[in-house]
A and B are shown apart, each in its own frame.
Chain A
Amino acid sequence: MHIPDTFIPLGQAAIYWIISILFIARAVKWARKDMKENMIPLFGVLAAGIFVLQTINIAASLLIPVPMFTGVSWHIVGAALTAIIFASPWAAVLLMTMVLAIQSLFGDGGITVMGANILNMGIIGGFIGYYTFIGLGKLSVKRPVAMFAGGWLSMLLPAIALSFELWLAGTFPLKQGILLMGTFQGIAGIGEGLITVIVFGAIIKARPDIVNEETHKKESTAKVAAVGIFALLGLAVAAPFLASSNPDGLQQTASLVMSNEINNMIAPITPLFPSYAIPGMGEAGRVAAIVIGFAAILIISIGISRVIKKA
């Protein structure tokens, strides 16, 4: 799922590059300062290993026993895996950046779009994968299950982000893109999740000192919440563009069964945002309505939880 050159116009590609460079700079600083020692050489060598293990092709028929998929294969990405092992999403950002840079020399991905690819696979994949794992762990979900979920989402959400980038670039329609890439990555994600669990299990047996389990426990809930809110907000902004303009099931049935009554009926309460949109603002209004609603729900739930805590 590497975006090739020319599929994203130069201006947009530059924005993704800027975002990625900020994250890469922080990731380099993490490898230099936040680890116990300056670990830059070690990560350079490890990146070579990650590059090679991405070339291991795994048969798709292992996951879905459909004869159509004979010969189709996928490979693991390892963003969630590396983030979980080193207990930091910055490890994933750093390693994925290196791997993607070398892959672009093979024609996998490209130069102008490398920023977008790093954003999808390294940053979104690493952060979502890691904080899903930590968050579910905090909710006392069993570790393998949390890890599987992290691995799965670290494949699915980048695919959704990629569909959005291609749609913003005007290269591919949004709904078909999400359906196509989401299905493919959703299936490959199952494999990614399973492999993440198996590999983590093997590594913790062989070299328990590599895995930074203490940090897993210490990770603050606020960070998990922040990443979660960021991801949900992203999905909330995305939602209006995906929503069908056709009436939903309930409305459809109602209008079939009692078309006269509906037309004569006067709504008892005028909603704040009719049809989930701020009138006169087009799609921007729908996005704004959802963001406002999302923020309102968030504030209310934080308020309620405070009150309950005090009581």
Chain B
Amino acid sequence: MTFSIRKAMAASAFAVGMAWAGSPAYAKTQVNFTVAEYSSKTGPYFEEVAAAFEKENPDIHINIQVVPWDTLLQRLTTDIAGGQAPDISIIGTRWLVDFASQGIAEPVDSYLTPEFKSTFIDTFMAPSVIDGKTMGLPVAASARAMLVNTELLDKAGAKAPANWDEFYTTAEKLKAVPDTFAFGLQGKEIETDAYFYYSLWTHGGDILKGDGTSGLDTPEALQAVTLYKKMIDEGLTQPSPTNYTREDVFNLFKQGKVGMVFTFPMLIPQIKAEAPNLKYKVLPFPEGKAKATYGVTDTLMLFSSSQVKKEAWKFIEFAYKDEWRTKFDHGEGFLPVTKNVAAEKYYTSDPDIAGFAAGLPYAKFAPTIANWEEIADTTVRALQQIYLGQAKPDEALKAAAADINKIRSK
């Protein structure tokens, strides 16, 4: 008995000693990097970059924390509140205003050499500039587009729609194909609002009006949502969209059960892996009064509280080398944010990626305004009430616009 206790004590003493030795105690500088998990490839990819970097810089240790997107903001909030903020993190660009206005984000202009700055595509650099200061670097970008199942279109004898009128008639024809749905409409959880913005923008509306008030009480917004509601009521979408998240809708598409969806480039690698026989085509969103797509960027942010900014920046510059960016963008299915990668043949000749990239000249970005998540949630609530038939479209939109104006104190 005593023997086993002593053995256990010895073992735990050994473990404590090992933990002590394992911590970077030999004057190694540690850079803490919080990585948002885009897919199962994200973590291993950044570990690989870090390992290569540490080989060249043996005095710096990059400590990578992979956090799923759903909990990233919560994790950063608690880390910052608890004084445990990382040194660098990937964040959604839509959050950057909140980080910048609270003095959490470090302006990087003084670190950014003209040479390094020139590697980025300006369109993607712009959303990270707040009040003239660059608050972070674009790390990932995507533009949205429409995917159609060409096999179902052929069966229905319909052609791929170019504008909303054609979209509606195509949907009516697709409805006749048994066991499938014409249009996959998202109505649940993250980006339910984005699915509506596609329609809003192409109908000529916008999230905010010129004077900064909500654009939900405009005739364009009403037109955009009425079309969706009409399609729900006439059975041109899958039943009960409020039970379908983005992933649920995309899964229907992968199963060949839905004719048309609005999606992001990251779906392409998934289709290739999970449904290699699916026949599809990437097309721009149906046009109304305007052409539009949703450009989404994520930002690599340096924390103002960091004690190791110089080392962190050294790693950032390393990670933006062409070889690493190519690997990242290809692996995750993103559009490139640096000029050299964008010039690769793959991004101009591949019909899928080119289809998504085609929208970039007229891409709209989510406005960089404070309290974005709350505004998005207010919008989603109004949309769900409309989709469920709990509220009349014009009333729900007006109420949501009033709420948003209150949140923005306009």
Is A bound to B? no
Residues of B within 8 A of A (CB): none
Residues of A within 8 A of B (CB): none
